[in-house]
Amino acid sequence: MKNDPFAITPEDLKGLRFEILESETLAPGDTLVGGRLGKFRIVKRLGIGGWGVAYFARHVITERPFTIKVLAESLASSTVFVRRFVKEAKITAQLDHQNVRQVFDVDQEQDRYYMVMEYVDGVGLQSLIQGNRFLPPRLAARIAGQVSRGLLYAHERGILHRDVKPRNILVGRNGLVKLTDFGLAKVLEEEEDVTQAAGVLETPEFQSPEHLAGWDSDVKADIYGLGATFFCMLTGEVPFRAPDKYTLAQILETQETPSPQERNSAVPGPLAQIVMNMMNHYPFLRHQNWAEAIDELSRWLERSADKPVALPTPRTDGQPS
């Protein structure tokens, strides 16, 4: 889109280590690689997530590329997780937006449940952060802006993601950013919740204080999740660390959210303030909707267009900072 403040160009990605970390793709004894699953030939492993393993695959007739997500064997024996896996496919199949990864089908072959998804030629945001220590501020803001648009689209259709974090965001080599993994999503008008599944699979560091406290979540919980992700992009670190969600909830009650500028002096003060607004412990003090967040990010990008940017030094070991 012409003059799109969130458009990512090849220049934005130049100099960054842009590859899937080896630790995500190692698969000793993976019997699927080289074989078939339904109408798909499994070529290689792409990554590991809370729900299972993602593979690069090609349709056996058309040779068209796809990503196949296979539900982990440890979860496939649970009717709760199978039901959530199928529901994720149904929820995401409703969404047709350039910043949301498309889901085409969900199927079962013997004891394997799998989802057929759009293949994105790029890397997970988690790999991009870990491979580069942190991301340049304007690139981080553009990634956050594109994710915000995807989340706005989903929320307008009554869907909360509830698991916004770097592992659930893909950055394409073409500059398109896509939100993925709606496994913990909630359709607002439905009564059913996913407490059992969430308790096992959520990442507490990116969960809002009200979610950790067991309160009902709304759009502002997703805004907090993107704020924590934004913090991670700018600093290479999560804002708070704790061994479990109960300890983290206690920390959030007693400690103020740190500024990303405290962890990385290259982060501009106004951008740091946007991140802190998104992560405010009190929901009513955050951006109240995605339109507010998108507008503030757009205005910051316009004001900062001619200012120099600090580039990270890519890691050589591929380990998180």
218 flagged as catalytic: no
27 φ/ψ sector (left φ>0, alpha ψ -120 to 50, else beta): beta
DSSP string, 188-206: TT-----HHHHHHH--GGG
Within 10 angstroms of residue 216's Cβ, the number of other Cβ atoms is 9
**Calpha distance 278→256 (Å, rounded):** 13
**Which of 4, 12, 163, 181 is the catalytic position?**
163
Q: Is the CB of residue 57 less than 8 Å from the CB of residue 37?
A: yes
DSSP string, 105-127: EEEEETTEEEEEEE--SEEEHHH
What does residue 73 show for φ and ψ, rounded to 5 degrees? -60, -35
SS3 label, residue 136 = coil
Residue 263 identity (one-letter amino acid): R
Q: Dmax of the chain from CA atoms?
A: 58
Residue whose structure tokens are 């790029």 = 122
Q: Is the CB of residue 103 less than 8 Å from the CB of residue 92?
A: yes
Residue 101 identity (one-letter amino acid): R
From the list 223, 85, 59, the residue with the least C-alpha distance to 154 is 223
Which residues are catalytic, by number? 163
